[in-house]
Structure 1
Amino acid sequence: MSPRVARWLAWSLFGFFVVLAATTPVLVAVRNGHASDALVATGIGFALVGALVASRQPGNAVGWLLLVAAVALGLDTFTTVYASRASAPGAAWAGWLNSWLLFVWLYLPALFLALVFPAGRLLSRRWRVVVGLGVGAVGANIVGTAFAPGVFELPADRPIRNPLGIGGPVGDALSWLYGAGELLAAATLVLGGVSVVLRLRRSRGRARQQVTWFAYVCMLALVPFMVLALVSVVAGDDLPPWLDVLVVIAWWSLVVLLLVGLPSAIGIAILRHQLYDIDVVINRTLVYGALTVTLGASYLGSVLLLQLVLNPLTQGSDLAVAMSTLAVAALFRPARRRIQLLVDRRFFRHKYDAARTLQAFGSRLRDQLDVDALGNDLQVVVRDTMQPTQVSLWLRGSR
């Protein structure tokens, strides 16, 4: 494919997504009276970053994967809205298309981005087996869903049956095929994570920074995913109010991280010549995440403790809340300092050792008068902190 054709195709797919994103809210407003349910615009990050990468680097599969996922997401949302009015012409076929589009826009980036990011190539030819497993998983899920008998799970005004549903023994085989596709998808996801870890260990320089950005967002998205999985396994469908709020927060956090954070990280990693310092971002995430948990636990604990102590003296809890707020505010700076030191010592040992080396050198510098000894100390400090391949020191002679 020539660069000109690639640019035309990439921006045509982006334009098609924009048309879907603009049409879906109008369709929702016409059929339901409001447009708040149209979430197709959340895929604009995938579409825009995919078009930029595919038009500038046509040989990179990452851009095309993002574009296909964005267009499939747009079609999925559009067909959901259209099929919600079962009396509309072609509503059954819109429901049929909607039934399997989820596996295209969700599984394609989830299964294959981890395998080919950032250059669009696999680690080696042996990983083609994993690609085959992913293609088999997507194909099995699509076939098992597209031809399964029954009624579509759509918010329609009346049930819509699958026009291509096949019953009998074939339907049972399709159900088995769908289950096999789920197992293959899970295996491919695990192997994709292994691929990211191996690529991170083998890469150096800018490539390592690129993979680190991708892995950072994936690890962040893993937190709300694990929360949702644990809640569904432990609590089931009957959730208390506070756990229901936690599920909503975890769900929207996962959506934002996947639909906004992931394409943003990919765009930063592939399109920028000078990457942001991802180590600083990770450091701040660990520090302020631990600080938030520490201060929140301290606040809740102090409120409960002070309420128990002050309950015989005061009937209300305003005094306990005020005292707890002041205590947490006073705890902020020392807690942040301690957590920063702990994170640097545990996860960023090189930075911690470099800071201590510079501090020790500054102490010697105040008492050192010998220029030759000072020059030797300076070269040792540079080697220990920056680790260059070669160190040379020039001193200006006296006139």
Structure 2
Amino acid sequence: MNARTARLLAWVLGGAAVVLTAVAIGLTAAAGTIGLGWGDLTVVMVLVFCTVGILIARRHPRNPIGWIFCASAVAYGLGSLARGYADYREAGAGSAGSLAEAAAAYATVSWIPAILVPAAYLPLLFPDGRLLTGRWRPVAWCGVLGVAGFFLTSLTKPGALEDFPTLANPYAIDSVVRAIGQGVSALMVLAVLVASPLSLILRFRRAGYEQRQQIKWLVWAGALAAATIAIGTVGYELLTPAVANAAIMLSVLGLPVATGIGILRHRLYDVDVVINRTIVYGALTVTLAAGYLGSVLLLQLLLRPVTQGSGPAVAVSTLAVAALFRPVRTRIQATVDRRFFRSRYDAARTLAAFGVRLRHELDLEALATDLRGVVYDTMQPTQVSLWLRTDDRNDFRTTDQ
């Protein structure tokens, strides 16, 4: 495929995804079912996936990851359209009709190609679009067969549709073979979802510096999404379903964004700073939240006989958390740097110590030696040369280490 054809095809897929989603929004609005559910936030998923997919496909047409993202956006859009049409028919006609039943059946299982294909193949192919070695080819084929089998067997599952409980599945096949096939295909997909991250780990161990930075972006986004999904699932009722769905969706959107940064190499080397800040502010949030809740409960117990309410306890706890923000952040930052970013931590300490010596040292030779040592300790070059200007403006002398 030449570059012109790749650009045209990428724009066609992206445009199709956007048009499908736009029509779906219109149908959903007409049915009066727009909200903050997972299915109703599909428009954001479509825009992010198709944008990243188009950018990757245009720049690297031989990398299948861009095309996977474009196809995933189309699947999201088609599923959203099917859901919107089924809702519209149910709300407007009182009964779905055969076409609406077919749309509802597809909408119920549309997440399978839209989510499972990127989830299975992104770790397997990232970042260059090729398998780690030829030995991983059976895993790739296992994913194709597993996802296709799971989609077809789920589409023909007998009984009421999960997303439309008032409708019976029009494609139902009540067969033991279908049930066994669904179980086998689910196990195949699960095996690929487990094997793909292992491929990424092995790729990271064999990679050079640049490819490791690319993989770090994907791992960071995956860890952030996993943590958000875990927290959102546990606190689903506490956060309200709408907020939990929105938080989970936004965290999942980090995966295509991180993939785009990694493959396109835009601000690639900022990943260490991003990881550092995520760890610091994540730990800071947990620490301050735990301290706030603990202090509120403790002060309520101590002040209840006097205040007969929780207002003073909340006020005092809020002030305490505000006062502790900066020192706690500084402490956590130092701990994270010392534990996970040791070279940066040692470099900062070396520069700070040199700054102290610089204020008190007067001997030029001693300063030159100190400066060469600082550069060597922080930058670790193969050779250090220092040019010193003498009394003669046109004369320089060089010292090496």
TM-score, normalised to structure 1, is 0.88
State yes or no: 1:142 paired with 2:151. Answer: yes
Could you tell me how far apart the structure 2 residues matched to 1:312 and 1:96 are?
60
Structure 1 residue 375 displacement after superposition: 2.0
Is contact 1:228–1:247 with CA below 8 Å preserved after alignment? no
Q: Which residue of 2 aligns with 1:237?
A: none
Asked if 1:132 is matched to 2:141, the reply is: yes
Query: Which ranges of 4 or more aligned residues in structure 1 deviate by more than 4 Å?
Result: none
Name 1:299's counterpart in structure 2: 292
Contact 1:287 1:343 in 2 (8 A): yes
| Structure 2 residue 252 is matched with structure 1 residue 252 | no
Structure 2 residue 202 is the aligned partner of structure 1 residue 198 = yes
Match of 1:48 in 2: 51
* CA drift at 1:110: 0.3
CA drift of 1:281 comes to: 1.2
In 2, Cα distance between equivalents of 1:177 and 1:89: 26
Q: Distance in 2 between matches of 1:290 and 1:265?
A: 22
Q: 8 Å contact 1:150–1:162 — kept in the other structure? A: no
Give the RMSD, CA atoms, in angstroms.
Answer: 2.2
Q: Equivalent residue for 1:63?
A: 66
Identity value in percent: 48
Are the structure 2 counterparts of residues 34 and 311 from structure 1 closer, same or farther at C-alpha, using a change threshold of 3 Å?
A: closer
Q: Is 1:217 the counterpart of 2:221 in the alignment? A: yes
The one-letter amino acid paired with 2:226 is L
* Aligned partners of 1:269 and 1:275 also within 8 Å: yes
Matched, 1:166 2:173: yes
Q: Tell me the amino acid that sits aligned with residue 2 of structure 1.
A: N
CA 1:149–1:298: 2 relative to 1, 3 Å: closer
Distance 2:158 2:319 in 1: 62
Distance apart, 1:273 and its partner CA: 4.3
> Contact 1:143–1:174 (CA<8 Å) still a contact in 2?
no
| Structure 2: distance between partners of 1:140 and 1:89 | 24
Using the TM superposition, name which of 43-52 and 326-335 deviates more.
326-335
Structure 2: 5+ residue runs without aligned partners?
90-94, 393-401
The 1:6/1:270 distance shift into structure 2, 3 A limit, reads: same
Contact 1:130–1:188 (8 Å) recurs in 2: yes
- Partner residue, 1:112: 121
Q: 1:396 to 1:67 in 2, by over 3 A?
A: same
2:104–2:164 CA contact under 8 A, matched in 1: no
Q: Quick check: 1:309 aligned with 2:311?
A: no
CA distance in 2 between counterparts of 1:34 and 1:96 reads: 18
Counterpart secondary structure, 2:112: helix
Give the AA of the match of 1:33. G
Indicate how the Cα distance of structure 1 residues 332 and 29 shifts in structure 2: closer, same or farther if over 3 A, else same: closer
Which residue of the partner structure matches residue 283 of structure 2? Answer: 290
Matches within 5 A, 1:269-348: 269-275=262-268, 277-348=270-341
| TM-score normalised by L of structure 2 | 0.88
Shift of 1:228: 5.8
Q: d(CA) in 2 for partners of 1:337 and 1:363? A: 21
Q: CA deviation at 1:250?
A: 4.5
8 Å contact 1:83–1:154 — kept in the other structure? Answer: no
Q: Distance in 1 between matches of 2:86 and 2:338?
A: 56
Give the direction of change, closer, same or farther, for the CA distance of 1:295–1:393 in structure 2 (3 Å limit): same
Counterpart Cα distance in 2 of 1:142 and 1:350: 48
Q: Give me the whole-angstrom Cα distance separating, in 1, the residues matched to 2:366 and 2:206.
A: 39
Q: Shift in Å at residue 117 of structure 1?
A: 1.1
User: Matches of 2:282 and 2:77 in 1, distance apart?
Assistant: 34
In 1, the alpha carbon distance for the partners of 2:305 and 2:75 equals 62
